[in-house]
């Protein structure tokens, strides 16, 4: 069991870190990782979904917290959604003139792709120091896709293909949308890969305070469905397996919106605080014989 700093953990437990959906709030995973590193608790595999896919990748690549924070600030800004994807708009509004295509997304996604390429370049899963699994959803059959090889940029782009916002992403002839559509907290992936202690960090999708546009209306419906999916799947995995699942649930006193990257230090701090609260139980679990 090799940790981010090469430690060997003192038990034969197989530990997974699962970082679910939650946009900028997922940066709390960096605070959790700080605590695990400081305590010398190694992680055997990392699973990421949607916003969590970026942080799972940072951790699996061994990128330190400060660098990951800087990379997020450069990568994830509100500029990403500023430019509309006019062909999609026309295809949605005038399908008889401009035939509708399934590669639909209201936002021009060239900037997000550029930034992902700047951040991760041609790096692949095979370069990860800790085995990494990123999830997306097959647009055509709704099945969960788990990426564990190939280019990181493609897998992350697929995992964050937020419905209506970013176009579904094609990989090897298949089309993928956001991983949260199949499971916002993919604990099952960790179980399937042999984890017996699973530390989870993920968030419910926020509800709209005011539904003032079609897009907000669509987001609201999406949040309702994904939050119910999260609870149903989480309950299933908690009850159907004998795996120990430890949820880390940071409490944010401030509201954290989708592009609030200036609040990342605070988010990391809350992630660290939440992880420290659960540390005694994690320690006791690791010391006990499986």
Partner 1 sequence: MVIGVEKRGRVTVVSVEGSVDGTTAGELIASLRGQVSGGSHQLVGNLAGVDYTSSAGLRALLETVKDARQHGGDLRLAAVRPEVLRVLELSGFTSILQVFADVDSAVASFPA
Binding site for partner 1 (CB under 8 A): 230-232, 234-235, 237-239, 241, 243-247, 249, 277-278, 280-281, 284-285, 288
Contact call for residues 64 and 99 (beta carbons, < 8 A): no
| 144 or 277: CB nearest partner 1 | 277
Nearest distance, CB of residue 74 and partner 1, angstroms: 32
Nearest distance, CB of residue 33 and partner 1, angstroms: 20
In three state form, how does the secondary structure of 111-130 look? HHHHHHHHHHCCCEHHHCCC
| 218 or 285: CB nearest partner 1 | 285
Selection from 117, 113, 112, 162 nearest residue 137 by Cα: 162
Nearest distance, CB of residue 231 and partner 1, angstroms: 4
| 171 or 285: CB nearest partner 1 | 285
Nearest distance, CB of residue 239 and partner 1, angstroms: 6
Residue 222 tokens, joined: 């999406």
Q: In a 10 Å sphere around its CB, with 0-12 CB exposed, 13-18 middle and 19+ buried, how is residue 266 labelled?
A: middle
Task: Kindly report the backbone phi and psi dihedral angles of residue 281, in degrees, each rounded to the nearest multiple of 5, phi listed first.
Answer: -70, -40
| 83 or 192: CB nearest partner 1 | 192
| 209 or 284: CB nearest partner 1 | 284
Task: Kindly report the backbone phi and psi dihedral angles of residue 12, in degrees, each rounded to the nearest multiple of 5, phi listed first.
Answer: -95, 20
Selection from 244, 257, 136 nearest residue 198 by Cα: 244
List C-alpha distances in Å: 221 to 18, 51, 52, 68, 232: 25, 19, 21, 32, 17
Nearest distance, CB of residue 98 and partner 1, angstroms: 43
């Amino acid at each position: 069991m090799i940790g981010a700093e090469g430690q060997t953990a003192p038990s034969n437990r197989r530990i997974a870190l699962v970082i679910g959906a939650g946009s900028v709030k997922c940066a709390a995973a960096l605070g959790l990782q700080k605590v695990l590193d400081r305590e010398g608790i190694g992680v055997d595999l990392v699973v990421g979904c949607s916003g969590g896919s970026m942080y799972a990748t940072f951790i699996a690549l061994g990128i330190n917290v400060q660098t990951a924070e800087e990379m997020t600030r450069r990568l994830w800004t509100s500029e990403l959604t500023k430019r509309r994807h006019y062909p999609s708009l026309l295809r949605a509004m005038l399908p008889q003139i401009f035939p509708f295509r399934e590669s639909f997304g209201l936002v021009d996604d060239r900037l997000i792709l550029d930034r992902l390429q700047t951040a991760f370049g041609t790096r692949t899963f095979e370069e990860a120091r800790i085995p990494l699994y990123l999830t997306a959803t097959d647009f055509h059959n709704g099945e969960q896709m788990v990426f564990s090889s190939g280019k990181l940029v493609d897998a992350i782009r697929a995992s964050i293909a937020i419905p209506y916002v970013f176009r579904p992403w094609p990989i090897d002839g298949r089309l993928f949308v956001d991983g949260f559509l199949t499971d916002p907290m993919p604990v099952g992936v960790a179980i399937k890969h042999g984890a017996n202690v699973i530390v989870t960090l993920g968030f419910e999708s926020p509800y709209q305070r005011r539904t003032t546009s079609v897009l907000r209306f669509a987001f609201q419906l999406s949040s309702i469905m994904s939050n119910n999916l999260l609870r149903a799947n989480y309950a299933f995995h908690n009850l159907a397996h004998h795996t120990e699942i430890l949820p880390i649930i940071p409490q944010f006193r401030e509201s954290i919106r989708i592009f609030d990257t200036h609040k990342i230090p605070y988010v990391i701090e809350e992630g660290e605080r939440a992880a420290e609260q659960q540390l005694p139980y994690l320690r006791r679990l690791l010391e006990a014989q499986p």
